[in-house]
Structure 1
Amino acid sequence: MKDDAYSLNRFITDLRHTACEGRDEHWVIATMRPLVQRFALSCSWLEPRHYQADSAQGFGVHVLHEEPDHTLAVFAVSWLPGRGIPPHDHGTWAIVGGVDGPEKNVFWERTDDRTRPGYAELRQSGERVFRPGDVLAMPSGTIHSVCNESDHVTLSLHVYGKHVNFTDRSQFDPDRRRETPFILKLA
Protein backbone atom coordinates (compact mmCIF):
# COMPACT_ATOMS: atom_id res chain seq x y z
CA MET A 1 0.00 0.00 0.00
CA LYS A 2 1.37 3.40 -0.95
CA ASP A 3 1.49 6.04 1.76
CA ASP A 4 1.43 9.44 0.04
CA ALA A 5 1.14 11.23 3.38
CA TYR A 6 4.59 10.13 4.64
CA SER A 7 6.69 13.06 3.47
CA LEU A 8 10.47 13.34 3.35
CA ASN A 9 10.35 15.93 6.16
CA ARG A 10 8.32 13.63 8.41
CA PHE A 11 10.59 10.68 7.58
CA ILE A 12 13.72 12.67 8.48
CA THR A 13 12.09 13.87 11.73
CA ASP A 14 11.28 10.26 12.64
CA LEU A 15 14.83 9.12 11.80
CA ARG A 16 16.39 11.94 13.84
CA HIS A 17 14.20 11.10 16.83
CA THR A 18 15.32 7.48 16.68
CA ALA A 19 19.00 8.38 16.19
CA CYS A 20 18.89 10.78 19.16
CA GLU A 21 17.72 8.05 21.53
CA GLY A 22 21.40 7.20 21.97
CA ARG A 23 20.94 3.46 22.06
CA ASP A 24 23.14 0.89 20.33
CA GLU A 25 23.09 0.52 16.56
CA HIS A 26 21.09 -2.73 16.64
CA TRP A 27 18.23 -0.93 18.42
CA VAL A 28 18.50 2.01 16.00
CA ILE A 29 18.39 -0.31 12.97
CA ALA A 30 15.46 -2.31 14.35
CA THR A 31 13.51 0.86 15.15
CA MET A 32 14.24 2.55 11.81
CA ARG A 33 13.51 -0.52 9.72
CA PRO A 34 9.71 -0.05 9.57
CA LEU A 35 10.18 3.69 8.92
CA VAL A 36 12.40 2.92 5.93
CA GLN A 37 9.88 0.40 4.64
CA ARG A 38 7.01 2.88 4.98
CA PHE A 39 8.91 5.68 3.24
CA ALA A 40 10.27 3.40 0.49
CA LEU A 41 6.71 2.35 -0.36
CA SER A 42 5.33 5.89 -0.29
CA CYS A 43 5.33 7.81 -3.55
CA SER A 44 5.52 11.33 -2.13
CA TRP A 45 9.29 11.66 -2.63
CA LEU A 46 9.89 9.99 -6.00
CA GLU A 47 11.03 12.15 -8.89
CA PRO A 48 12.05 11.11 -12.44
CA ARG A 49 15.64 12.24 -11.74
CA HIS A 50 15.99 9.53 -9.08
CA TYR A 51 16.06 6.97 -11.92
CA GLN A 52 19.06 8.60 -13.60
CA ALA A 53 22.32 6.70 -13.26
CA ASP A 54 25.93 7.32 -14.18
CA SER A 55 26.77 4.93 -17.05
CA ALA A 56 30.47 4.72 -16.10
CA GLN A 57 29.64 3.91 -12.48
CA GLY A 58 26.62 1.70 -13.29
CA PHE A 59 24.38 3.37 -10.75
CA GLY A 60 23.25 6.81 -9.58
CA VAL A 61 23.30 8.18 -6.05
CA HIS A 62 20.85 10.99 -5.27
CA VAL A 63 21.13 12.65 -1.86
CA LEU A 64 17.69 13.14 -0.32
CA HIS A 65 19.02 14.30 3.05
CA GLU A 66 22.28 14.69 4.94
CA GLU A 67 22.86 16.19 8.36
CA PRO A 68 25.42 19.06 8.50
CA ASP A 69 27.86 16.79 10.39
CA HIS A 70 27.30 14.07 7.73
CA THR A 71 25.37 11.78 10.07
CA LEU A 72 22.04 10.37 9.05
CA ALA A 73 22.35 10.37 5.27
CA VAL A 74 19.47 9.31 3.01
CA PHE A 75 19.97 8.44 -0.68
CA ALA A 76 17.88 7.23 -3.59
CA VAL A 77 20.06 4.82 -5.58
CA SER A 78 19.27 3.80 -9.15
CA TRP A 79 20.86 0.72 -10.70
CA LEU A 80 21.31 0.27 -14.45
CA PRO A 81 20.19 -3.06 -15.99
CA GLY A 82 22.86 -5.73 -15.72
CA ARG A 83 25.05 -3.51 -13.56
CA GLY A 84 25.91 -3.35 -9.90
CA ILE A 85 28.69 -2.78 -7.43
CA PRO A 86 31.44 -5.10 -6.21
CA PRO A 87 31.75 -6.16 -2.58
CA HIS A 88 32.00 -3.19 -0.23
CA ASP A 89 31.29 -2.12 3.31
CA HIS A 90 29.73 1.16 4.44
CA GLY A 91 31.85 2.23 7.38
CA THR A 92 28.57 2.60 9.29
CA TRP A 93 25.23 0.85 9.67
CA ALA A 94 22.90 0.82 6.68
CA ILE A 95 19.23 0.16 5.98
CA VAL A 96 18.13 -0.36 2.38
CA GLY A 97 14.50 -0.43 1.27
CA GLY A 98 13.32 -1.75 -2.07
CA VAL A 99 11.42 0.85 -4.11
CA ASP A 100 11.18 -0.32 -7.73
CA GLY A 101 12.41 -3.62 -9.15
CA PRO A 102 14.43 -6.56 -7.83
CA GLU A 103 18.03 -6.18 -6.66
CA LYS A 104 20.33 -9.07 -5.85
CA ASN A 105 22.52 -8.66 -2.77
CA VAL A 106 25.40 -11.05 -2.19
CA PHE A 107 26.85 -11.09 1.32
CA TRP A 108 30.51 -11.67 2.07
CA GLU A 109 32.63 -12.50 5.12
CA ARG A 110 36.18 -11.40 5.59
CA THR A 111 38.44 -14.39 6.35
CA ASP A 112 41.92 -12.80 6.65
CA ASP A 113 43.33 -11.34 9.85
CA ARG A 114 43.22 -7.73 8.54
CA THR A 115 46.90 -7.10 9.27
CA ARG A 116 48.06 -6.45 5.69
CA PRO A 117 47.06 -3.03 4.31
CA GLY A 118 45.30 -3.31 0.96
CA TYR A 119 44.86 -7.08 1.31
CA ALA A 120 41.57 -8.86 2.02
CA GLU A 121 40.31 -12.40 1.69
CA LEU A 122 36.54 -12.78 1.30
CA ARG A 123 34.16 -15.68 0.98
CA GLN A 124 30.54 -15.52 -0.07
CA SER A 125 28.20 -16.14 2.86
CA GLY A 126 24.75 -15.78 1.30
CA GLU A 127 22.54 -13.89 -1.09
CA ARG A 128 19.09 -12.38 -1.24
CA VAL A 129 17.00 -10.78 -3.95
CA PHE A 130 14.89 -8.05 -2.51
CA ARG A 131 11.91 -6.31 -4.06
CA PRO A 132 9.75 -3.26 -3.35
CA GLY A 133 8.83 -3.19 0.32
CA ASP A 134 11.67 -5.50 1.38
CA VAL A 135 14.20 -4.03 3.79
CA LEU A 136 17.83 -5.03 4.38
CA ALA A 137 19.32 -3.95 7.70
CA MET A 138 23.11 -4.09 7.80
CA PRO A 139 25.10 -3.45 10.98
CA SER A 140 28.54 -1.81 10.73
CA GLY A 141 31.06 -4.15 9.15
CA THR A 142 28.60 -5.86 6.79
CA ILE A 143 30.10 -6.53 3.36
CA HIS A 144 27.81 -6.98 0.37
CA SER A 145 27.67 -6.55 -3.39
CA VAL A 146 24.63 -5.52 -5.44
CA CYS A 147 23.49 -6.45 -8.95
CA ASN A 148 20.46 -5.44 -10.99
CA GLU A 149 19.76 -8.58 -13.01
CA SER A 150 16.58 -7.12 -14.55
CA ASP A 151 16.18 -5.40 -17.91
CA HIS A 152 15.15 -2.02 -16.45
CA VAL A 153 16.51 0.57 -14.01
CA THR A 154 15.78 -0.36 -10.40
CA LEU A 155 15.58 1.98 -7.44
CA SER A 156 16.27 1.59 -3.72
CA LEU A 157 16.24 3.84 -0.68
CA HIS A 158 19.41 3.90 1.46
CA VAL A 159 19.70 5.24 5.01
CA TYR A 160 23.13 5.42 6.64
CA GLY A 161 24.32 6.29 10.13
CA LYS A 162 26.84 8.55 8.41
CA HIS A 163 27.31 9.69 4.81
CA VAL A 164 29.45 6.89 3.35
CA ASN A 165 31.91 9.30 1.72
CA PHE A 166 32.85 10.45 5.23
CA THR A 167 33.60 7.00 6.65
CA ASP A 168 36.60 4.73 6.18
CA ARG A 169 34.77 2.40 3.85
CA SER A 170 36.32 -0.10 1.49
CA GLN A 171 35.65 -1.82 -1.80
CA PHE A 172 36.92 -5.37 -2.28
CA ASP A 173 38.13 -7.47 -5.19
CA PRO A 174 37.74 -11.07 -4.00
CA ASP A 175 39.65 -12.54 -6.98
CA ARG A 176 42.70 -10.31 -6.54
CA ARG A 177 42.33 -10.23 -2.74
CA ARG A 178 42.41 -6.45 -2.69
CA GLU A 179 40.89 -3.82 -0.43
CA THR A 180 40.77 -0.20 -1.61
CA PRO A 181 39.14 2.98 -0.30
CA PHE A 182 35.68 3.57 -1.76
CA ILE A 183 34.15 6.96 -2.50
CA LEU A 184 30.81 7.32 -4.32
CA LYS A 185 30.24 9.68 -7.22
CA LEU A 186 27.03 11.56 -6.39
CA ALA A 187 24.45 12.69 -8.91
Structure 2
Amino acid sequence: MIISHPRRATISRHEQFTLAQQALRRCDRGIGLLALGASLILGSVIGLIWLQPLFAPIPASIAIPLTSIGIGTACLIAGWRRYAFSRQLQFATTIIDAPIIDCWIEDAFEGEPGVIAWELTITKPDGKEVRLRQAQLIDPALIATWQQSTTVPVRYLPANPTVSALAIDTL
Protein backbone atom coordinates (compact mmCIF):
# COMPACT_ATOMS: atom_id res chain seq x y z
CA MET A 1 0.00 0.00 0.00
CA ILE A 2 1.30 3.45 -0.89
CA ILE A 3 0.85 6.29 1.54
CA SER A 4 0.72 9.34 -0.69
CA HIS A 5 0.18 12.96 0.24
CA PRO A 6 -0.16 15.01 -2.95
CA ARG A 7 0.27 18.77 -2.67
CA ARG A 8 -0.68 19.80 -6.17
CA ALA A 9 -2.25 17.81 -8.95
CA THR A 10 -2.07 14.15 -8.04
CA ILE A 11 0.69 12.40 -9.91
CA SER A 12 0.08 8.99 -11.37
CA ARG A 13 1.45 5.79 -9.88
CA HIS A 14 3.63 5.37 -12.97
CA GLU A 15 5.18 8.80 -12.46
CA GLN A 16 5.69 8.04 -8.75
CA PHE A 17 7.52 4.84 -9.66
CA THR A 18 9.64 6.63 -12.30
CA LEU A 19 10.60 9.39 -9.87
CA ALA A 20 11.44 6.82 -7.18
CA GLN A 21 13.70 4.94 -9.61
CA GLN A 22 15.49 8.16 -10.51
CA ALA A 23 15.89 9.00 -6.83
CA LEU A 24 17.42 5.57 -6.16
CA ARG A 25 19.90 6.01 -9.01
CA ARG A 26 20.78 9.52 -7.85
CA CYS A 27 21.72 8.45 -4.33
CA ASP A 28 24.38 6.04 -5.67
CA ARG A 29 27.78 7.57 -6.45
CA GLY A 30 28.55 4.96 -9.12
CA ILE A 31 31.81 3.70 -7.63
CA GLY A 32 30.52 0.13 -7.38
CA LEU A 33 29.43 0.07 -11.01
CA LEU A 34 32.77 1.49 -12.13
CA ALA A 35 34.63 -1.21 -10.19
CA LEU A 36 32.33 -3.97 -11.48
CA GLY A 37 32.65 -2.82 -15.09
CA ALA A 38 36.44 -2.55 -14.89
CA SER A 39 36.79 -5.97 -13.29
CA LEU A 40 34.47 -7.61 -15.86
CA ILE A 41 36.39 -6.11 -18.76
CA LEU A 42 39.81 -6.86 -17.27
CA GLY A 43 38.84 -10.43 -16.37
CA SER A 44 37.38 -11.05 -19.81
CA VAL A 45 40.40 -9.70 -21.64
CA ILE A 46 42.75 -11.77 -19.48
CA GLY A 47 40.52 -14.79 -20.06
CA LEU A 48 40.58 -14.28 -23.81
CA ILE A 49 44.36 -13.90 -23.90
CA TRP A 50 45.31 -16.55 -21.39
CA LEU A 51 42.62 -19.23 -21.61
CA GLN A 52 41.67 -18.97 -25.29
CA PRO A 53 44.45 -21.31 -26.52
CA LEU A 54 43.16 -24.01 -24.15
CA PHE A 55 39.57 -23.88 -25.44
CA ALA A 56 40.13 -22.80 -29.06
CA PRO A 57 37.64 -25.18 -30.71
CA ILE A 58 34.72 -24.20 -28.42
CA PRO A 59 32.70 -21.16 -29.72
CA ALA A 60 31.40 -20.36 -26.23
CA SER A 61 34.97 -19.68 -25.13
CA ILE A 62 34.83 -16.47 -27.18
CA ALA A 63 31.14 -15.61 -26.79
CA ILE A 64 31.13 -15.55 -22.96
CA PRO A 65 34.09 -13.15 -22.58
CA LEU A 66 32.73 -10.88 -25.32
CA THR A 67 29.38 -10.77 -23.56
CA SER A 68 31.17 -9.96 -20.29
CA ILE A 69 33.04 -7.15 -22.02
CA GLY A 70 29.72 -5.72 -23.27
CA ILE A 71 28.17 -5.91 -19.79
CA GLY A 72 31.30 -4.41 -18.28
CA THR A 73 31.17 -1.52 -20.75
CA ALA A 74 27.52 -0.87 -19.87
CA CYS A 75 28.42 -0.87 -16.17
CA LEU A 76 31.27 1.58 -16.80
CA ILE A 77 28.98 3.96 -18.68
CA ALA A 78 26.24 3.85 -16.02
CA GLY A 79 28.79 4.18 -13.22
CA TRP A 80 30.47 7.14 -14.89
CA ARG A 81 27.13 8.92 -15.34
CA ARG A 82 26.28 8.46 -11.65
CA TYR A 83 29.75 9.55 -10.58
CA ALA A 84 29.61 12.64 -12.83
CA PHE A 85 26.18 13.54 -11.38
CA SER A 86 27.45 13.29 -7.80
CA ARG A 87 30.50 15.43 -8.68
CA GLN A 88 28.29 18.08 -10.32
CA LEU A 89 25.98 18.07 -7.30
CA GLN A 90 28.90 19.16 -5.12
CA PHE A 91 29.08 22.40 -7.14
CA ALA A 92 25.34 23.06 -7.01
CA THR A 93 25.04 26.09 -4.73
CA THR A 94 22.02 28.01 -6.02
CA ILE A 95 19.06 27.48 -3.68
CA ILE A 96 15.41 27.99 -4.57
CA ASP A 97 12.13 27.03 -2.92
CA ALA A 98 10.32 24.47 -5.04
CA PRO A 99 6.74 23.35 -4.49
CA ILE A 100 6.26 19.84 -3.15
CA ILE A 101 4.32 17.71 -5.59
CA ASP A 102 3.93 14.60 -3.49
CA CYS A 103 5.40 12.65 -0.56
CA TRP A 104 5.00 8.90 -0.35
CA ILE A 105 6.46 5.70 0.98
CA GLU A 106 7.60 3.56 -1.94
CA ASP A 107 6.67 -0.06 -1.30
CA ALA A 108 8.05 -1.33 -4.61
CA PHE A 109 11.66 -1.15 -3.36
CA GLU A 110 13.43 -2.97 -0.57
CA GLY A 111 13.30 -1.14 2.73
CA GLU A 112 10.28 0.94 1.65
CA PRO A 113 12.03 4.31 1.47
CA GLY A 114 10.24 7.60 1.75
CA VAL A 115 10.23 9.75 -1.36
CA ILE A 116 9.60 13.46 -1.71
CA ALA A 117 8.94 14.92 -5.17
CA TRP A 118 9.17 18.55 -6.17
CA GLU A 119 8.74 20.63 -9.29
CA LEU A 120 11.68 22.88 -10.05
CA THR A 121 10.84 25.87 -12.23
CA ILE A 122 13.87 27.71 -13.64
CA THR A 123 14.02 30.63 -16.06
CA LYS A 124 17.03 30.25 -18.33
CA PRO A 125 19.10 33.26 -19.44
CA ASP A 126 17.41 33.12 -22.86
CA GLY A 127 14.01 33.63 -21.17
CA LYS A 128 12.72 30.07 -21.55
CA GLU A 129 11.07 28.52 -18.55
CA VAL A 130 12.10 24.98 -17.62
CA ARG A 131 9.96 22.77 -15.38
CA LEU A 132 11.52 19.64 -13.94
CA ARG A 133 9.92 17.07 -11.69
CA GLN A 134 12.46 15.40 -9.47
CA ALA A 135 12.52 13.35 -6.30
CA GLN A 136 14.81 12.33 -3.49
CA LEU A 137 14.78 9.54 -0.95
CA ILE A 138 14.13 10.58 2.63
CA ASP A 139 13.63 8.82 5.93
CA PRO A 140 10.04 7.51 5.99
CA ALA A 141 9.62 9.02 9.47
CA LEU A 142 10.02 12.49 7.90
CA ILE A 143 7.03 12.06 5.57
CA ALA A 144 4.70 13.44 8.25
CA THR A 145 6.92 16.52 8.62
CA TRP A 146 6.87 17.26 4.90
CA GLN A 147 3.08 16.79 4.71
CA GLN A 148 2.69 20.12 6.51
CA SER A 149 4.98 22.02 4.11
CA THR A 150 4.14 23.41 0.71
CA THR A 151 7.69 24.09 -0.49
CA VAL A 152 11.11 22.56 -0.02
CA PRO A 153 14.53 24.23 -0.43
CA VAL A 154 16.34 22.76 -3.43
CA ARG A 155 19.93 23.42 -4.47
CA TYR A 156 20.70 23.11 -8.14
CA LEU A 157 23.32 23.82 -10.76
CA PRO A 158 22.19 26.82 -12.86
CA ALA A 159 23.98 25.55 -15.97
CA ASN A 160 22.22 22.17 -15.68
CA PRO A 161 19.04 22.31 -13.54
CA THR A 162 18.61 18.52 -13.74
CA VAL A 163 21.43 18.40 -11.17
CA SER A 164 19.49 19.21 -8.02
CA ALA A 165 18.92 17.89 -4.52
CA LEU A 166 17.24 18.94 -1.32
CA ALA A 167 19.16 21.68 0.46
CA ILE A 168 18.63 20.11 3.86
CA ASP A 169 21.42 18.35 5.74
CA THR A 170 19.19 16.36 8.10
CA LEU A 171 18.05 13.87 5.44
Largest Rg, 1 or 2: 2
TM-score w.r.t. the length of structure 1 is 0.22
Between structures 1 and 2, the one with greater strand share: 1
TM-score w.r.t. the length of structure 2 is 0.23
